[in-house]
Structure 1
Amino acid sequence: MMLQRTFQHIPGVGPYREKDLWAQGIRTWDDFPAAGTGAPAISKKSDGVAREYIAKAREALARKDLRGLVELVPSREHWRLYPDFAEDALFFDIETDGREQQVPTVVSLFDSAGLHVFIHGRNMDALPEAMAARRLWVSFNGTCFDAPVLRDYFGESRFPKPDAHIDLRFVTKRLGMGGGLKEIEDSLGMGRPPHLRGVNGWDAVLLWRAYKARGDVEALRFLVEYNLYDAFQLRTLMDVTYNKGADELNQDVPRLPVFHRGDVLYDVSKLILELGPTERDMETIARVRSQDRDLREL
């Protein structure tokens, strides 16, 4: 995989020097020349340092020490870690109430165990524990928006920190896939079903407000479906992004099988159908109906 072909964790080695090593035939850590064998790969002094850092990375990978690898590999190259830790990956996305002090309303998670939905006023308090169970987080703009909103809401002491966080907004941009998440999805032929096309973040705010104001469970179901797509589509995008990154670097490594959303659509439907009204929702409906009767009598 790409991680074992990474040399940018070595001090003084950036993208160009790494490509030079590849051009020399030093394609993996195993190819780096041992001490006293042949001409230096970088320089006599730097080769000793290189061997030391290759050994550190090799040991960290053998221990599945994701945090140790993150400390070695530059953040722009963290996408290379994904295949070795895919089973520990968490894809997530949030919606908020749209107010100045953003409050998370719906948060969807997708991991190897399946889909999980957390809703404000229902089960949101369980979110930190669920996210703490996974060491590698994958999001789109999550380092700038989603994670900070959740950290502000739950507090620094309660909200977990992952060992690694791959923000696909920046990785896809570097690979020439510009635009927002939905634009990239469309360009890759992984667009959403007709009823979700054109739905945006402000629509998500309005759907939440409709649910809160009237106990409108249909609005909540639509919002949850929209948010679930934001989460599990990231799995497909991560696979595509990793493969494209390997292509751009012209590396002969196995490409990842691209996740197909058809594998989870049954679970999406099941989750949405299970979202019935709570006792509080029923109270809201009764209150609004009571007000309507009062208004009609005026």
Structure 2
Amino acid sequence: MRIENSFIPVRGVGETTERKLWQQGITHWDEFDGSVVGDTVADRIESFIEEGRTHLERGDVSVFTEALPAASRWRCYENVRENTCFLDIETTGLDASCNDVTTVSVHRGGETKTFVQGRDLTSQRLEDELEASSLLVTFNGQRFDVPFLETCYDIDVATPHVDLMYPCKKIGLDGGLKAIEKDLGIDRDMPDLSGRDAVRLWHEYERGDEAALETLVEYNRADTKNMEPLMEIVTDRLHETVFEAACAGE
């Protein structure tokens, strides 16, 4: 599903009206002709489509992520798939005011980079990676990763953001990232670790254990890379349950 199939970012158009449009065969912006809805809403939709095309030509999906509910922002992914940045962080605790970010991994275009505190993890590096991305994808990043980075590195994360936790819940996938991976058969190439292990590994590294840092980095990278296949599965399922089912009148 692409943004061009969506009408709910328009003020006054909810899921019921959008479903009605789809069921009447108006499944794409190109097919909208002003029927089905009233004149006022039709005018809003036409303005939205005109402005929306301009944003998409620039690869800018921010106007859509701002207008869409958190559980529906997955609709932006197909439009900017190749320039999507998957991000995950590790920290020394849960409070950004007194704990530190230890590692940050970003995965985009088949390449994964990991930045380490005290080495190459800087505000400028983070800003460069985010500015180079059309879409940011995290898991629970809306409540954790993004506020942590903004507090600890004094940056403003303005990149359009999809927090995978919300679309996962929409299709009945609850729990943490690793539990959902297991449910879906997404494999990891390393032993199962936890956030508590990540804190322990960092402290062992601070005491001089370089192998502990290597393990921590592998763990952080696995969390980040595995979000891509998860995103693919979730968007495919939501495409079927939200879009195809509505078009079929189910």
TM-score by length of 2: 0.89
Judged with a 3 Å threshold, the aligned counterparts in structure 2 of structure 1 residues 58 and 73 are, in CA distance, closer, same or farther, namely farther
Letter in 2 for 1:116: K
Letter in 2 for 1:209: H
Q: Which has the higher contact order (CA 8 A, sep 6+)?
A: 2
Distance, in Å, in 2 between the alignment partners of 1:51 and 1:108 is: 40
Judged with a 3 Å threshold, the aligned counterparts in structure 2 of structure 1 residues 123 and 89 are, in CA distance, closer, same or farther, namely same
Once the two structures are superposed, residues 9-62 of structure 1 have per-residue CA deviations (whole angstroms, 9 ceiling, x without a partner) of 22211111111111111111111115xxxxx31123322222222222223223
Letter in 1 for 2:233: V
> Which runs of structure 2 are paired with 1:215-294 in the superposition (5 Å)?
215-251=208-244
> Which runs of structure 2 are paired with 1:24-173 in the superposition (5 Å)?
24-33=24-33, 40-98=35-93, 100=95, 101-112=98-109, 114-125=111-122, 126-155=125-154, 159-173=155-169
- Flag as ranges the 4+ runs of structure 1 deviating above 3 A: 68-76
Bigger Cα Rg? 1
Kept in 1: contact 2:131–2:159 (CA 8 A) = no
Judged with a 3 Å threshold, the aligned counterparts in structure 2 of structure 1 residues 179 and 61 are, in CA distance, closer, same or farther, namely same
Distance, in Å, in 2 between the alignment partners of 1:78 and 1:85 is: 12
Distance, in Å, in 1 between the alignment partners of 2:130 and 2:49 is: 31
Letter in 2 for 1:128: E
Distance, in Å, in 2 between the alignment partners of 1:22 and 1:12 is: 16
Distance, in Å, in 2 between the alignment partners of 1:99 and 1:26 is: 46
SS of the residue 1:176 aligns to: coil
Once the two structures are superposed, residues 91-140 of structure 1 have per-residue CA deviations (whole angstroms, 9 ceiling, x without a partner) of 11111112751201111111116111111111112333333322311000
- Of stretches 228-237 and 122-131 in structure 1, the one that deviates more from structure 2 is 122-131
Distance, in Å, in 1 between the alignment partners of 2:168 and 2:115 is: 27
Identity %: 34
Kept in 1: contact 2:4–2:28 (CA 8 A) = yes
Judged with a 3 Å threshold, the aligned counterparts in structure 2 of structure 1 residues 250 and 132 are, in CA distance, closer, same or farther, namely closer
SS of the residue 2:25 aligns to: coil
- Residue equivalent to 1:13: 13
Distance, in Å, in 1 between the alignment partners of 2:51 and 2:69 is: 15
- Residue equivalent to 1:176: 172
- Residue equivalent to 2:3: 3
Letter in 2 for 1:77: S
SS of the residue 1:131 aligns to: helix
Distance, in Å, in 2 between the alignment partners of 1:188 and 1:130 is: 29
Judged with a 3 Å threshold, the aligned counterparts in structure 2 of structure 1 residues 221 and 163 are, in CA distance, closer, same or farther, namely closer
Kept in 2: contact 1:5–1:28 (CA 8 A) = yes
Kept in 2: contact 1:70–1:163 (CA 8 A) = no
Distance, in Å, in 2 between the alignment partners of 1:122 and 1:89 is: 25
Kept in 1: contact 2:90–2:103 (CA 8 A) = yes
Which residues of structure 1 form unaligned runs of 5+?
A: 35-39, 253-298
- Residue equivalent to 1:200: 194
Judged with a 3 Å threshold, the aligned counterparts in structure 2 of structure 1 residues 99 and 188 are, in CA distance, closer, same or farther, namely closer
SS of the residue 1:143 aligns to: coil
Letter in 2 for 1:154: Y
Kept in 2: contact 1:3–1:80 (CA 8 A) = yes
Q: How many residues align?
A: 241
Kept in 1: contact 2:130–2:159 (CA 8 A) = no
Distance, in Å, in 2 between the alignment partners of 1:49 and 1:168 is: 29
